[in-house]
Amino acid sequence: MPKAPAVLMVFTGGTISMKIVPGRGAVPARGGQEILDQVPELRALASITCEDFDRLPGPHWTVERMFALARHLDARLAGDDFAGAVVTHGTDTLEETAYLLDLVLATNRPVVLTGAMKTADDPAWDGPANLADSVRAVTASGDREAGVAVMMGGTLHAARRVVKSHTEAPDAFTSAGDGPRLRERIETERLEPRVDLVTACAGCDGKFLRHAVGTGARGIVLEAFGSGNVPPAMLEGVKEAVAAGVCVVVASRCGDGATAPRYGYPGGGVTLKDAGAIFAGRLPGPKARIKLMVLLGAGAPPAMIRASFENPGS
């Protein structure tokens, strides 16, 4: 009888670990082994090694903790002990952690992130199915360059494309954009945390851009309208930020599609490009922020940052 593949399962918290406390709502309560004990069918799929890395709700994650998780996974997957890893995570920030891991992990072994939309004391708990599907995805993966993936609701998504598009549906995660691309890796020993996200809305001006610059931001991701356009009063804020040496990356508020300099009116994409802004392509704002943190942390010069965002393969 063939030996079962070995899979590292790293628990970090999230709804999959929570229970409902009367008067408080859902809170983290269960460690990894407690969760595994409720999913005995996993034993038939793989030899599981359980580790508790954290017990955090999704909104409590920081980029520093995400980076620490990346270093932990690289250390644990460096040898031949495991076919790959499954990581449980709170769904609110799961796509950001997955994308950061996709950018910075050195390992070629498959890493799949998953979680749950329902707590374990809910009759509709989706944790067991997501865990089982994730283990199957790790053990079946033959593409060492496929990058980090997210498994939710029976569907496997590439980390660089996945978004949480519904607040509570079991199939809340969808893949925006075009088909799979080669993984982009960025070697770095640190992240630059001083990157802000500013969203454009009708009639807004440059005050939040100026505030970001004034409080020490080294980068700003601007969530613009459509393909990359902002109200005319925001254009001056972009010019001032670039003149101050702050990298400005333009993403879109839209759920799908790429940013590009197409419109020439004041605040249109052409004028943002002329002001020195970089366009994020298909990356949504939160992921563009993650990528800019990684690039700035790696000490990438402006030309390299621009090429990384604006190259269609990125």
Which residues are catalytic, by number? 15
Nearest residue to 88 via CA among 166, 140, 148, 10? 10
Nearest to 272 by CA among 288, 305, 248: 248
CA-wise closest residue to 90 among 115, 118, 63, 127: 115
Q: What are phi and psi of 164, to 5 degrees?
A: -85, 110
CB 243 within 8 A of CB 217: no
Q: CA 26 to CA 58: how far, in whole Å?
A: 12
Calculate ∠ Cα 5-7-13, nearest 5°.
160
Q: What are the tokens at 158?
A: 């590439």
Give me the DSSP letters along 19-75: EEETTTEEEE---HHHHHHT-GGGGGT-EEEEEEEEEE-GGG--HHHHHHHHHHHHH
* Rounded distance between C-alpha atoms, residue 105 and residue 112, angstroms: 13
Helix/strand/coil for 152: strand
Q: How far apart are CA 50 and CA 47, in angstroms?
A: 10
